[in-house]
Amino acid sequence: MSNSTQNFDAIVIGAGFSGLYMLKSLRDRLGLKVRVYEAGETVGGTWYWNRYPGARCDSDAYIYCFTWDKQMLQEWEWSERYPEQPEILRYLEHVAKRHDLKRDIKFNTRVTGAEFDESANLWRVHTDTGEDVTAQYLIAAVGSLSTTNMPQFKGLETFKGKWYHTSRFPHTGVDFTAKRVAVVGTGATAVQAIPEIAQQAKHLTVFQRTANYCVPARNGKVDPEISQARKADYDGIVQRIRDSFFGQEHYFIPKSALEATAEEREREFDRMWDSGGFAFWLANYQDMFFSQEANDLCADYIKRKIRATVKDPAVAEKLIPKGYAYGTKRQPLDTNYYETFNKDNVLLVDAATDGAIEEITETGIRAGGKDYPFDIIVFATGFDAMTGPLKALNLKGRGGRTLDEQWRDGPHTYLGISVAGFPNLFTITGPQSPSVLTNMPVAIEQHVEWVSECIDAMRKSGKSVIEAMPEAQEKWVAHVNEVVNMTLMTGANSWYMSANIPGKPRAFLPYLGPAGVGGYRKTCDEIAAKDYEGFVLA
């Protein structure tokens, strides 16, 4: 039955970290009438959908959580440094329950389209369950990595075995016991999944297109004394991650890698390697992302580690990354990843040396002219990142313009939070915001708080429409590109550069600060303080 009469102050799309906090802020702090639509059957977003073996967070859990519920920061106990997907989902369920959020969320409901009604200044929103509702504000909290990239492999429909994509894994799990399994892809997801699947499967074949630089996660129980000290210092921690570059307690070494002596460098590299996690990526020498020479020193260290770990030199050579700078693709965290290739039941098929995947056959995968038989194929081929989830909403702004039309050569946004021609639309961790280059909850909280304060300010000043100015937007796009062009990031065929999807215009998708998410926060606050400079308010 259609609910065409239902009007809301705000509609939020998605009930992951972003949507939950957005609902909490708008409903409980501002007193707005809010409806959340969520395609999944419960809350969680990323943590609802991504259930592949080994799925866990890559940022330390003590900061991979909401910081706005101070009591929960004290009460919640994470079981390990990087908890697994079910534990993070339990956490989000707990948040939803504790703040009574579910009563305003419609689950199993996908937004199929929305258009801005210029005569009424509101959004008309449609769902796959037949709802037609209106709202003054539309907030896309759809995640940055939520639209599956399933490459169009020839012959997939003929495959007689089972196949799965990691981002849509069956909720019942998959039993790999006694099975011949393929994993396609070697990104952060595959690096988590491969060691787990290899333990169960009779035989595992990994199809690698680009070798990755992996560093050890060093997961495990956190020393209770450290946890206690963190709880005692949470105010300080929260302030530090909010002001930081990456939303983490990681800081570059304020020195060039080239200035350090070889011994000093090795000591620093060892220290970061041993501490595990993102330190090697985000707390390395400050010129690592800028100077190829400095970067080569970091990359060489990892290459030495790969050669020292992988016993067969030919396999090690295939696993050595080539042709792009270290850190310019997302850092995968490794728990027995390289060691897995020492197992007798694991084979690496490398596109460059063994031949690329040609087609999927009835019995398996043909690559480099050779047939590999499988019972199960797991595609860990990633996402149509950042722009994909927003385009999938089929939004129509002024004059019926779509994001497809506006973004033909890549995203154009103002601050990554709004799009000219799409009034009263906010995109949480949207393209050209720090988002995926940070510890996500930090970026999410900053956006949600900024949007809430903006809506609050509008209501207090009697304004009802906010829209980015095209000139401000183009200035922001130029700034995003100017900053990233100073780095080595543009040289990699990464999803950051939109290079993982055939035909996707090559453009850098997130925003790489000059001062990271901390600096970006200041920029956003200054813009708000100047009566939302770069926006038109009516």
**Residue 396: which residues within 8 A CB-CB, separation 6 or more?**
113, 114, 115, 116, 402
Binding segment for ligand N01 (CB under 6 A), chosen from 187-195, 273-281, 298-306, 442-450, is 187-195
Binding segment for ligand N01 (CB under 6 A), chosen from 122-130, 259-267, 377-385, 417-425, is 377-385
How far does CA 258 lie from the centroid of its chain?
Answer: 32
Distances (CA, A) of 189 to 66, 199, 224, 448: 23, 16, 29, 27
Residue 288, token pair as written in the block: 């690592």
Q: Is the CB of 321 or the CB of 397 nearer to ligand N01?
A: 321
Q: Is the CB of 348 or the CB of 454 nearer to ligand N01?
A: 348
Cα radius of gyration rounded to whole Å, the chain: 23
Check if the beta carbon of residue 62 is closer than 8 Å to that of residue 226.
Answer: no
Binders of ligand N01: how many residues, by CB under 6 A? Answer: 23
**Binder of ligand N01 out of 109, 146, 205, 381 (CB under 6 A):** 381
Binding segment for ligand N01 (CB under 6 A), chosen from 184-192, 256-264, 320-328, 528-536, is 184-192
Distances (CA, A) of 6 to 2, 74, 274: 9, 39, 56
Sign of CA dihedral 350, 353, 356, 361: negative
User: Exposed, middle or buried: residue 175 (CB in 10 Å: 0-12, 13-18, 19+)?
Assistant: exposed
Q: Is 443 in the site for ligand N01 (CB under 6 A)?
A: no
Q: Is 383 in the site for ligand N01 (CB under 6 A)?
A: yes
Check if the beta carbon of residue 147 is closer than 8 Å to that of residue 386.
Answer: no
Report the residue closest to ligand N01, judged by CB. Answer: 187
Q: Is 436 in the site for ligand N01 (CB under 6 A)?
A: yes
Map the footprint of ligand N01 across residues 10-69, applying CB under 6 A: 57-58
Map the footprint of ligand N01 across residues 189-218, applying CB under 6 A: 189-190, 192, 209-210
Q: Is 330 in the site for ligand N01 (CB under 6 A)?
A: yes
Binding segment for ligand N01 (CB under 6 A), chosen from 117-125, 381-389, 396-404, 460-468, is 381-389
Q: What gap in Å lies between CA 189 and CA 389, rounded to an integer?
A: 19
Binding segment for ligand N01 (CB under 6 A), chosen from 89-97, 173-181, 188-196, 412-420, is 188-196
Distance of closest approach, residue 385 Cβ to ligand N01, in angstroms: 7
Residue 455, token pair as written in the block: 């809506």
Q: Is 495 in the site for ligand N01 (CB under 6 A)?
A: yes
Check if the beta carbon of residue 494 is closer than 8 Å to that of residue 436.
Answer: no
**Binder of ligand N01 out of 382, 434, 441, 518 (CB under 6 A):** 382
Distance of closest approach, residue 187 Cβ to ligand N01, in angstroms: 2
Q: What gap in Å lies between CA 462 and CA 513, rounded to an integer?
A: 33
**Binder of ligand N01 out of 34, 63, 184, 507 (CB under 6 A):** 184
Q: What gap in Å lies between CA 56 and CA 15, rounded to an integer?
A: 19
Q: What gap in Å lies between CA 156 and CA 97, rounded to an integer?
A: 41
Distance of closest approach, residue 408 Cβ to ligand N01, in angstroms: 22
Q: Is 431 in the site for ligand N01 (CB under 6 A)?
A: no
Q: Is the CB of 89 or the CB of 466 nearer to ligand N01?
A: 89
Task: Tell me which residues touch ligand N01 (CB under 6 A).
Answer: 57-58, 145, 151, 184-190, 192, 209-210, 330, 357, 380-383, 436, 495, 500
